[in-house]
Amino acid sequence: MSTAVSPAPSATAAPPAGAGRGERVSPRRLRAILSGSVGNLVEWYDWYVFSSFSLYFSASFFPAGDTTAQLLQTAGIFALGFLMRPIGGWMFGRIADKVGRKQSMTLSVLLMSLGSLLIALTPTYQTVGIVAPVMLLTARLLQGLSVGGEYGVSATYLAEMATSRRRGFYSSFLYLTLIGAQLLALGIQLVLQRVLEPAQLLAWGWRIPFVIGALLSVVALYLRHNLDETAAFTAQPETAEDQRGSLRVLARHPRAVLTVVGLTMGGTLAFYTFTTYMLKFLVNTAHMTREAATNVCFLSLLVFAALQPVFGALSDRIGRRPLLLFFGVGGALGTVPLLTALSHTTSPLAAFGLLLLALVIVSGYSGINVIVKAELFPTEIRALGIGLPHALTVAVFGGTAEYLALWSKGVGHEAYFYWYIAGCIGVSLLVFLGMAETTKTSHLDNSPMAEQPAKLSS
């Protein structure tokens, strides 16, 4: 059976990896990878700026009360946003597998920009009462829908664009830009802390980063509109069209789906704890000033971002499984002592060292999980296979991380949360121990792109 098929009329496909060029990445392919990564950065910035600035805007959307109560209510909306992620993972994954990766990525950034603009324009609780938190929730649900699809489709796009021997390296760009989005959010926070008075930030300054996010989304929309479609998608046989993005077909891969769930469970909980929640933790538990905590988080995330391509490239040399085991063992054994030490740390320098150690361990997951998941599924259901189980797991574990942490603190047993993280990572470790090395069983190597170069439209 012939596997050649012309690409969709509106799609331009990059040449397949290694087609006539060995393992060298062509400028065109590299441009597609970088453009997709920049768009990913903008979209995740819109998502993370909510958490970064919640210390400032939580009082604007809820009745007056103590700081922990307001943060708890804001964290509840943060968690509810995650409930939309499985729907987004299904919806955008299906679009990506049936229509194309490019179209799905373009649509997701439109929804994200709408959510950011809505937050920027929402009146305060003191002005419109209950309408304020309702509008905030609506905006967050739109963002959750968008980002739920973003991960699976971006992971698929980067994995399919990368050359076979450097898939770990190029796929790590997703988390590089994801962390870069947090850095951008914190960087803007640092600037605003220096140019505005605290009262101004609390009153109206927190709206500025959401306006910036809406404007940056226009840039992301332009980049994604001009992306090449992947050769793996365009080279699929016409006979497989009814197989694309099908839940029925996904059900034929239960082991892969469960592997994504087990892989994500401990990884996402550790990631959100030591990145998005850490700013609140240092302020609310270690009692650092907002400015000192922001500096610690910014510098540690800067190093963390630089580690992603290092771990990705290392996985191309030694395999994915050893790095996952490094994360599993280090996270299961080290989370409780690291968080305990951080909770009693008053020195920003000591906090930076402890947090950096935790993030080195987390890099064993974050630097390679994208390519591991992409290697588990065939082309026709890759975006859905990555996106849906990942989003479901993140909604349950990542989305509730802040809420459970603040709840544990509120009832006077914050250490319960530390043990909960360690236990979830322990479950993921069992999955790592039982899984095969995906570089040796990769479905990316069975793509039709390896047999037939995709045609390039003019």
- The 10s digit of each residue's pLDDT in 418-427 is 999 999 999 9
Q: What span, in angstroms and rounded, lies between the C-alpha atoms of 152 and 154?
A: 6
Long-range contacts of 290-298 (CB under 8 A, 24+ apart): 290/55, 290/193, 291/193, 292/348, 294/186, 294/189, 294/190, 294/193, 295/190, 295/348, 296/348, 296/351, 296/352, 296/355, 297/186, 297/355, 298/183, 298/186, 298/187, 298/190
Long-range contacts of 171-174 (CB under 8 A, 24+ apart): 171/312, 171/368, 171/370, 171/371, 171/374, 172/308, 172/309, 172/311, 172/312, 172/313, 172/367, 172/368, 172/370, 172/371, 173/33, 173/34, 173/37, 173/40, 173/308, 173/309, 174/37, 174/40, 174/370
pLDDT band of 333, cuts 50, 70, 90:
very high
Q: What's residue 452's pLDDT?
A: 37
Residues 28 and 14: beta-carbon distance below 8 Å: yes
Q: What's residue 107's pLDDT?
A: 87
The pLDDT tens digits for 372-386 are 999 999 888 899 999
Q: What's residue 453's pLDDT?
A: 35
| 3-class state of residue 246 by DSSP | coil
Q: What's residue 369's pLDDT?
A: 94
How many CB atoms lie under 10 A from the CB of residue 120?
17
pLDDT band of 3, cuts 50, 70, 90:
very low
Q: What's residue 172's pLDDT?
A: 92
pLDDT band of 340, cuts 50, 70, 90:
very high
Alpha helices in 53-130 (DSSP H): 54-61, 67-83, 85-98, 101-121, 125-128
pLDDT band of 65, cuts 50, 70, 90:
low
Q: Report in angstroms the alpha-carbon separations of 65 from 37, 58, 59, 203, 351.
A: 41, 10, 8, 16, 29
**Domains of the chain with bracketed CATH:** 27-230+252-446 (1.20.1250.20)
How many CB atoms lie under 10 A from the CB of residue 286?
21
Using the 8-state DSSP alphabet, how is residue 145 labeled? H
Average pLDDT rounded to a whole number, residues 98-114: 86
Q: Any idea which residue has 């994504």 for tokens?
A: 260
3-state DSSP helix/strand/coil % of the chain, to nearest 5: 80, 0, 20
Q: Is the alpha carbon torsion for 57, 63, 68, 72 positive or negative?
A: negative
Instruction: Report the largest interatomic distance among the alpha carbons of the chain, rounded to a whole angstrom.
Output: 69
Q: What's residue 144's pLDDT?
A: 85
**Helix axis angle, 401-410 to 415-434, nearest 10°:** 140
The fraction of the chain above a pLDDT of 90, given in percent, is 34
The pLDDT tens digits for 385-410 are 999 999 999 888 987 888 899 889 88
Q: What span, in angstroms and rounded, lies between the C-alpha atoms of 297 and 361?
A: 16
Average pLDDT rounded to a whole number, residues 259-288: 92
Q: Which stretch of 72-76, 88-92, 119-123, 272-276 has the lowest confidence by average pLDDT? A: 72-76
How many CB atoms lie under 10 A from the CB of residue 24?
9
Q: What's residue 78's pLDDT?
A: 66
Higher pLDDT, 217 or 434: 434
The rounded mean pLDDT for the chain is 83
Q: What's residue 2's pLDDT?
A: 37
| 3-class state of residue 13 by DSSP | strand
77: nearest Cα among 39, 132, 159, 18: 132
Residues 246 and 65: beta-carbon distance below 8 Å: no
Average pLDDT rounded to a whole number, residues 207-220: 88
